[in-house]
Structure formats: C-alpha cells, structure tokens
C-alpha cells in the first residue's frame, strides 16, 4: 500500500499574497496533499479574522485539487500530526527570514522530533513580498494588484477604508 505524502503549510496569511500562492503551487507538485493551515495567532494582531483568511485562501487555491485549507489553534507540531503528516512547509523569502525560521524549526524539532521542516523559496519575483508590506502599501493608497489576488485586493481595500 502506497503511503500518502502530506505536507502542512502553516501561516497567518494576513492577507494571502502571490508569494504564498507560489509556495502552495510548488508544494502541491511535490506532495500528494497540501494542507494550508491558517494560524489563529492573535498575538500578531491580524487585520482579517480567521474565517476571512480561510475564505481568501480557499478562493485563491480553488484550482489546486490536492490542496485543502483549514485553520488551527495551538502547537503547530500537534496540528501537523493530527493531519497525518510529518512535513511542515515554511517559506523563506530573504536571508532576513532565515534566522527566525531556523529558530522556529529547531524549537519545533525539540517539541516533536518526527516532524520535519522543509524550507521553500518563492519565485524571485515574489521574494520581497510580505503580508505586512502589502497592508502598509494598500493603507497608503498603493496599487497592490501585482502582489495579491483581485478578490483579496478588494477585501483589503474595504477593510482599510
């Protein structure tokens, strides 16, 4: 019996960007199933509710048949296990991401040795995009159409006005 290869891509996704979508698409080519897991993480003071973030992601990944979107609260390693996975995907944009991602990966390894963190880099055209930067740019009136999906642009504009 062939074992299904499942990867979990956790994040806040506040809001989802083309960089996130690029990572999801590439992970979906490698794994049989990709679970995009929206973290509740109220410590980050998200602009969008969990439900809004889940909805944005579902809309953005609809064409990808082996991708599902879910949300979670609590330890990510516990969530990964609950999905029958041993792989967590994390995106690395720039070298500045590496230190915090490395620290998080090592901590997660100590919490659960059987969960592996796989780092993926987005296409270089998305390597500088962050959700935080998109919120700041949109708030200042910038056109963010090259960075986030159309429906997300509308939601972001409505949220900020």
pLDDT in tens, 95-108: 777 888 889 999 99
Is 93 known to be catalytic? yes
Catalytic residue among 33, 85, 90, 131: 131
User: Tokens representing 113?
Assistant: 């040795």
Among candidate residues 20, 33, 53, 90, the one labeled active-site is 20
DSSP state of 113: T
The pLDDT, as a whole number, for residue 4 is 66
The pTM (predicted TM-score) of the whole model is 0.93
Segment 108-128 shows an average pLDDT of 92
- Averaged confidence pLDDT in the chain: 93
For the stretch 1-14, what's the b/e string if a residue is b when 16 or more beta carbons lie within 10 angstroms of its beta carbon?
A: eeeeebbbbbbbbb
Annotated catalytic residue: which of 5, 44, 62, 157?
Answer: 44
Active site residue 82: no
Catalytic residue among 33, 53, 90, 93: 93
Judge whether 44 counts as a catalytic residue: yes
Which domains does the chain carry? 6-128 (3.40.50.620)
Burial 97-130, CB ≥16 within 10 A → b, else e: beeebeeebeebeeebeebebeebbbeeebeebb
CA distance 33 to 36: 10
Residue 1 pLDDT more than 50? no
For range 19-30, the mean pLDDT: 96
């Amino acid at each position: 019996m062939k074992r299904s290869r499942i990867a979990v891509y956790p994040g806040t996704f506040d809001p989802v960007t083309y960089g996130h979508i690029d990572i999801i698409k590439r992970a979906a080519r490698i794994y049989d199933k990709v679970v995009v897991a929206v973290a509740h993480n109220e410590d980050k003071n998200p602009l969008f509710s969990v439900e809004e973030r889940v909805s944005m992601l579902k809309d953005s990944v609809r064409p990808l048949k082996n991708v599902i979107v879910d949300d979670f609260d609590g330890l990510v390693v516990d969530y990964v296990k609950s999905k029958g996975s041993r792989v967590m995907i994390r995106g690395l944009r720039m070298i500045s991401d590496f230190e915090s991602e490395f620290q998080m990966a090592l901590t997660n390894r100590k919490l659960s040795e059987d969960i592996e963190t796989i780092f993926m880099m987005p296409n270089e055209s998305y390597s500088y995009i962050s959700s935080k930067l998109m919120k700041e740019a949109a708030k200042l009136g910038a056109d963010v159409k090259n960075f986030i999906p159309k429906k997300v642009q509308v939601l972001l504009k409505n949220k900020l006005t």
